[in-house]
Structure 1
Amino acid sequence: MEKILEKYWGYTSFRPKQREIIDSALAGRDTLAILPTGGGKSLCFQIPSLARPGIAIVVTPLISLMKDQVQNLKARGIKALAIYSGMTFHEIDVALDNAIYGDYKFLYVSPERLRTDIFLARVAKMEVNFIVVDEAHCISQWGYDFRPDYLLINELRNVVGGNVPFIALTATATERVAEDIMETLQFKEKNLLRSSFERPNLAYIVRECENKLGNVVKVCEDIPGSGIVYVRERKKAEEIAAFLRTQGVDADFYHAGVGKEMRSEKQDRWKKGDLRVMVATNAFGMGIDKPDVRFVCHIDLPESLESYFQEAGRAGRDGLSSKAVLLWNNTDLVRLKRIFQVSFPPLEYIADIYQKMFMYLGIAYGDGEGTTRKFNLIDFAKHFKLHSATAYYAIKYIELSGYWSVTEEIDNPSRIMFSVSRDDLYRIQLSDPGMDSFLKALMRIYPALFSHLVSIDEEYIAKVIRQSDKEVKRMLVELSRMRVIDYIPQSRSPLIFVNNERLTP
């Protein structure tokens, strides 16, 4: 194992507990590993997979996390790929073929992918050596970030066979959550390996102060090296980054509202050391493999201890002296109490939000199962004159019950699906020769259009039929107007996936 570690990562020895976890997995035992943030969880499944023939399927909840890990593995000469929402049907098809025939070692997927029969059918053809469950606390209803789609993971046992070991990893799990993880994943035997959460090199500093901006400047001046300043609001990230620059600090901002390419550029500059301080919301940092972060400073109190421990733990992963600084005052406590109050809306309010959501989406009683729509929380709240934060928590509670799933704000490609039968489509083709060739091209490029919403690439379609992008979009809009297809144009808006039909009050 040490040879693999040195060959790909340049280390000569493992951190505490890593070798024990790796040996457990290689012995074929289902293994739950609880390691602190920065404790090297990824190596605990990457090393075993590299030591065995076949491919590891890694289930992880965040697209940004899987993209970052795939990029890091590729940079080390290890073949890895990911499938996530936002990819076209063609891209997914190619990725699955590569996972079967391309000698890849890691396939990263989001838990929602486990709902699709196509994915499961292709997994059955793969030589799977491990099933990896990252952020495993998401599988437990007692965990702080429970996600219903994680309950689908155990279905993979039926597909890959009972001899393929599961490796579940998390940085945050109580005894109750750990028991729930092992029970839900149907471990053959209880097997929990836990490392100490003590980080001797990381000093935790808590400062009560009214002048937070002055203290942030002092942190940046007193602690040399790379740093992260966490805030809770996008606008605040931009304002504080601008202020730090006026004080001579090399700083920039990062949040989910920044365009995809710009976010990637900012992140790369910071990772390479070309940018010293990143002022960011919690959209930044998950999966960021930068060992030499010397400080993490929180201007706002995080929403939970788990969130704070995870974010603060991004400092000092190289084992050198680092600091986690938390700035607070009484205003923070008032705000946290207010957040707590809106975080638990009454059942009557949640039931009302459920019905209002379907009204907003235009879905009647008894309909909607399998529907996908763009969703904008601010627009939804304005439409019904709701408090957006309270509505957000109600939507999350309904999601936890499995009625719908809401994606991150990502770059979503256009999606289409036929809303008519094959017979009706044939009659439309006969009556409209102008659309006939376009419809044939769509069916040839995307064969699954009759069964589910498929991600499409208008530029690729335009090349195939030798038309302009503008003309392709015009024809898609026209087909949507004729109610021949459901067409969801490309956007950066989150999507809502409706899992069950609308229920009556």
Structure 2
Amino acid sequence: MDYQAILKQYWGYDSFRGIQENIIRSIGEGRDTLGLMPTGGGKSVTFQVPALAQEGMCLVITPLIALMKDQVQNLKRRGIKALAVYSGMSRQDIITTLENAIFGNYKFLYISPERLDTEIFRIKLAKMKISLITVDESHCISQWGYDFRPAYLKIAEVRHLLPDVPILALTATATPEVVKDIQQRLEFRKENVFRMSFERTNLAYVVRQTENKASELLHILQRMEGSAILYVRNRRRTKEVTEWLQQQGITADFYHAGLDDAVKDIRQQRWQKGESRVMVATNAFGMGIDKPDVRLVIHLDLPDSIEAYFQEAGRAGRDGQKAYAIILYAQSDSTTLRKRIPDNFPEKDYIRDVYEHLQYYYEMAMGDGLGCVREFDIEDFCRKFKYFPVPVDSALKILTQAGYLEYTDEQDNASRLLFSVGREELYRLRELGEDMDRLIQAALRSYTGLFTDYAFISEETLAIRTGLTQRQVYEMLKELSRRRIVSYIPRKKTPYIIYTRERVESNRLNIPPAVYEERKARYEQRIKAMLEYVTNDTACRSRMLLHYFGEQNEHDCSQCDTCLRLRHKITTDKQADSLSGRVLHCLSGHSLTPAALADQLLVEKDLLAETLRQMMDDKQIFTHNGMLQIRK
């Protein structure tokens, strides 16, 4: 198979990078394959090239909607047919997309793991000709990993529906334990791993200890040029820090999962074009976003694992030019990080209480519940039962893993539209204007039953079909709603509780060690590793990170803050050794004051003072009446 010809035809490259070709040939030969490649290592080429080389379609499973949209657009620009199914699409749009995947001669179908378990997908999948299954962010399938997602466990069921189709798993962060677990969970026929070195020779890792993070942050941004990502722990902080940076004259935007999709797209585009220099974000930002010239990734708050830090830091310098990954660390950060352990793993009695109060919240009788789906407003729940949101969120996730319910965290609900006026009255309206009329016609052509019941709609689809922007579509629908021509319910992000079994007595809840004690122990280990990394002042930071992921290398990076400090110390020590010999030479035969000695030696006063102190400690010299003398 001439994979290089495909690479040249569609991407314009003459040769593959690193382990790309090894992975491509392995999957092309039908072998289940796991590829470990750092951020920016060119993962997408490893499944796109072999998929183009054979008949049928590649099913790409990824949780990253931004990545789906970005890669589908990139493939289309190259003349390659690609589709995506993700949360927020209407049922009709999903059905249309899946039908196109069956009959439209498409090469790629991107889908989120949550969609794998839907009846409509399973029915349509049986009619598709799938040549390859690709699992991106495959570490999410491992309960021992830092970002476990239960929906990933459904992938093995899809394998049973497609028994002869090989699977390619890809990840940028996996410990040796997780590497083994990924292959077992995805039911690899045989272990088969390709590893690309995680070493980033152009990326300098720095930990700056400071009790005044604002001052240090400003100093770094003023001293160093280029685009930057600034990671903080929560949504509230993204806005506060952005406003502060703007007051300092630095262009900045903020980004988190709770923002409207249109707002996120605008801010992302502004940052990617360089119109705003700094993106202040939670960990929701960065995955699937390809901006190669990020010069700085700064963590204002500590991540709770090396895996998360390594992935976020790796977004700097993807163009191969010098870049910096900087953590600003204060002593209080250690306490803050350790507090996340009880936040993420509240006591079992607390989890039982949350479960019990959930039944009161929904007025759920004993034995009821199986299959029930309920919207969940965590703020309202916490207000009624006097809880704090973070441990409640964690308790619900543990109950999900224990099999009692499914807690979907902020799922997109598609917008809904219903015409409030009849068809005849609608056609009599003349003063709405050309754009509004075009929008109404597009809605009527795109969706059925709009006069009798609410229909799920997509502002994005309507924007494409009318030539308007998504913001214009949104504002026009709001105006039509204000005039009572339509009833418009904009899309919102709503968590759901889905009962996967009937309600039981809270004292009969079984939360097994694999779900609680073992996962808590691993979480504590990850916290400990993160704290060891930031408090270390003797080992090369690059080597520490590589060692964590099971990669041994024998050389220091020579550019992290630890390497630079140790090199400076060695240089200073050598200078001091040389200087002590010159001091002894000057003092041989007569005494001198420190000032007179400094005049003779012509050296920095600080270095001389340190050398004299060391020589006194070593009993080489002493002072008598303010005069330096050699000890006989």
- TM-score bucket (shorter structure): 0.7 to 0.9
Pair 1:405–1:319, CA change in 2 (3 A): farther
Q: How far has the Cα of 1:62 moved from its partner?
A: 3.3
Per the alignment, residue 433 of structure 1 pairs with none
Q: How far has the Cα of 1:458 moved from its partner?
A: 10
Asked if structure 2 preserves the Cα contact closer than 8 Å seen for 1:148 and 1:401, the reply is no
Pair 1:248–1:499, CA change in 2 (3 A): same
- Unaligned stretches of 5+ residues in structure 2: 418-443, 462-479, 507-632
Asked if structure 2 preserves the Cα contact closer than 8 Å seen for 1:36 and 1:197, the reply is yes
Cα distance in 1 between the residues matched to 2:380 and 2:10: 48
Per the alignment, residue 463 of structure 1 pairs with none
Asked if structure 1 preserves the Cα contact closer than 8 Å seen for 2:414 and 2:458, the reply is no
Pair 1:404–1:319, CA change in 2 (3 A): farther
Per the alignment, residue 196 of structure 2 pairs with 195
Pair 1:284–1:198, CA change in 2 (3 A): same
Asked if structure 1 preserves the Cα contact closer than 8 Å seen for 2:228 and 2:294, the reply is yes
State whether structure 2 residue 383 is matched by structure 1 residue 382.
yes
- Unaligned stretches of 5+ residues in structure 1: 417-440, 447-453, 461-467, 475-487
Q: 1:119 pairs with 110, 121, 138, which one?
A: 121
Identity %: 51
AA partner of residue 69 (structure 1): Q
Asked if structure 2 preserves the Cα contact closer than 8 Å seen for 1:143 and 1:173, the reply is yes
Pair 1:373–1:210, CA change in 2 (3 A): same
Per the alignment, residue 57 of structure 2 pairs with 55
Pair 1:458–1:234, CA change in 2 (3 A): closer
Matching of residues 199-210 of structure 1 within 5 Å:
199-210=200-211
- Deviation track 1:11-44 (CA, whole Å, cap 9, x = no partner) reads 3332211111111111110001111222222221
Q: How far has the Cα of 1:157 moved from its partner?
A: 2.3
Q: Which has the larger radius of gyration?
A: 2
AA partner of residue 155 (structure 2): I
Matching of residues 15-94 of structure 1 within 5 Å:
15-94=17-96
Report the 3-state secondary structure (helix = DSSP H, G, I; strand = E; otherwise coil) of the residue aligned with 2:116: helix
AA partner of residue 343 (structure 1): N
Asked if structure 2 preserves the Cα contact closer than 8 Å seen for 1:148 and 1:402, the reply is no
State whether structure 2 residue 344 is matched by structure 1 residue 343.
yes
Cα distance in 1 between the residues matched to 2:148 and 2:391: 19
Per the alignment, residue 183 of structure 2 pairs with 182
AA partner of residue 18 (structure 1): Q
Per the alignment, residue 396 of structure 2 pairs with 395
Report the 3-state secondary structure (helix = DSSP H, G, I; strand = E; otherwise coil) of the residue aligned with 1:263: helix
Q: How far has the Cα of 1:180 moved from its partner?
A: 1.8
- Deviation track 1:365-408 (CA, whole Å, cap 9, x = no partner) reads 33333333322322222221012221121111112234333334
Q: How far has the Cα of 1:10 moved from its partner?
A: 3.7
Following TM superposition, where does structure 1 have runs of at least 4 consecutive aligned residues deviating by more than 4 angstroms? Answer: 468-474
Cα distance in 2 between the residues matched to 1:333 and 1:458: 45
Report the 3-state secondary structure (helix = DSSP H, G, I; strand = E; otherwise coil) of the residue aligned with 2:189: coil
Aligned length: 452
Cα distance in 2 between the residues matched to 1:281 and 1:365: 40
- Deviation track 1:152-171 (CA, whole Å, cap 9, x = no partner) reads 111222322x2211001112
Cα distance in 2 between the residues matched to 1:361 and 1:77: 51
Pair 1:240–1:288, CA change in 2 (3 A): same
Report the 3-state secondary structure (helix = DSSP H, G, I; strand = E; otherwise coil) of the residue aligned with 1:381: helix
Pair 1:200–1:361, CA change in 2 (3 A): farther
Q: How far has the Cα of 1:501 moved from its partner?
A: 2.7
Asked if structure 2 preserves the Cα contact closer than 8 Å seen for 1:86 and 1:413, the reply is yes
Question: In terms of mean alpha carbon deviation, does 325-334 or 387-396 score higher?
Answer: 387-396
Asked if structure 1 preserves the Cα contact closer than 8 Å seen for 2:65 and 2:86, the reply is yes
AA partner of residue 73 (structure 1): L
Pair 1:414–1:237, CA change in 2 (3 A): closer
Looking at both structures, which has the greater relative contact order when contacts are Cα pairs under 8 Å and sequence separation is at least 6?
Answer: 1
Asked if structure 2 preserves the Cα contact closer than 8 Å seen for 1:89 and 1:455, the reply is no
Pair 1:206–1:48, CA change in 2 (3 A): same
Asked if structure 2 preserves the Cα contact closer than 8 Å seen for 1:87 and 1:455, the reply is no
Q: How far has the Cα of 1:178 moved from its partner?
A: 1.7
Q: 2:158 pairs with 146, 156, 166, which one?
A: 156
Cα distance in 2 between the residues matched to 1:154 and 1:355: 33
- Deviation track 1:290-345 (CA, whole Å, cap 9, x = no partner) reads 11111101111112111111111111112111110110101211111211232221
Per the alignment, residue 590 of structure 2 pairs with none
TM-score between the two structures when normalised by the length of structure 1: 0.83
AA partner of residue 388 (structure 1): P
Asked if structure 1 preserves the Cα contact closer than 8 Å seen for 2:61 and 2:134, the reply is yes
Pair 1:277–1:46, CA change in 2 (3 A): same
Matching of residues 68-467 of structure 1 within 5 Å:
68-160=70-162, 162-409=163-410, 411-413=412-414, 445=448, 456-457=456-457
Question: In terms of mean alpha carbon deviation, does 371-380 or 319-328 score higher?
Answer: 371-380
AA partner of residue 408 (structure 2): T
- Deviation track 1:25-67 (CA, whole Å, cap 9, x = no partner) reads 1111000111122222222112211222211111122333333
AA partner of residue 91 (structure 1): D
Pair 1:242–1:129, CA change in 2 (3 A): same
Report the 3-state secondary structure (helix = DSSP H, G, I; strand = E; otherwise coil) of the residue aligned with 2:110: strand
Question: In terms of mean alpha carbon deviation, does 76-85 or 288-297 score higher?
Answer: 76-85
Question: In terms of mean alpha carbon deviation, does 211-220 or 283-292 score higher?
Answer: 211-220
Pair 1:52–1:72, CA change in 2 (3 A): same
Pair 1:501–1:238, CA change in 2 (3 A): same
Question: In terms of mean alpha carbon deviation, does 347-356 or 488-497 score higher?
Answer: 488-497
Report the 3-state secondary structure (helix = DSSP H, G, I; strand = E; otherwise coil) of the residue aligned with 1:203: strand
Pair 1:502–1:209, CA change in 2 (3 A): same
Report the 3-state secondary structure (helix = DSSP H, G, I; strand = E; otherwise coil) of the residue aligned with 1:378: helix
AA partner of residue 399 (structure 2): I
Pair 1:342–1:163, CA change in 2 (3 A): same
TM-score between the two structures when normalised by the length of structure 2: 0.67
Question: In terms of mean alpha carbon deviation, does 177-186 or 259-268 score higher?
Answer: 177-186
Q: How far has the Cα of 1:96 moved from its partner?
A: 0.2
Cα distance in 1 between the residues matched to 2:256 and 2:147: 20
Q: How far has the Cα of 1:473 moved from its partner?
A: 5.0
Cα distance in 2 between the residues matched to 1:82 and 1:365: 41
Over the aligned positions, Cα root-mean-square deviation in angstroms equals 2.7
Pair 1:137–1:247, CA change in 2 (3 A): same
Asked if structure 1 preserves the Cα contact closer than 8 Å seen for 2:88 and 2:414, the reply is yes
- Deviation track 1:77-96 (CA, whole Å, cap 9, x = no partner) reads 33222112221110011000
AA partner of residue 92 (structure 1): I
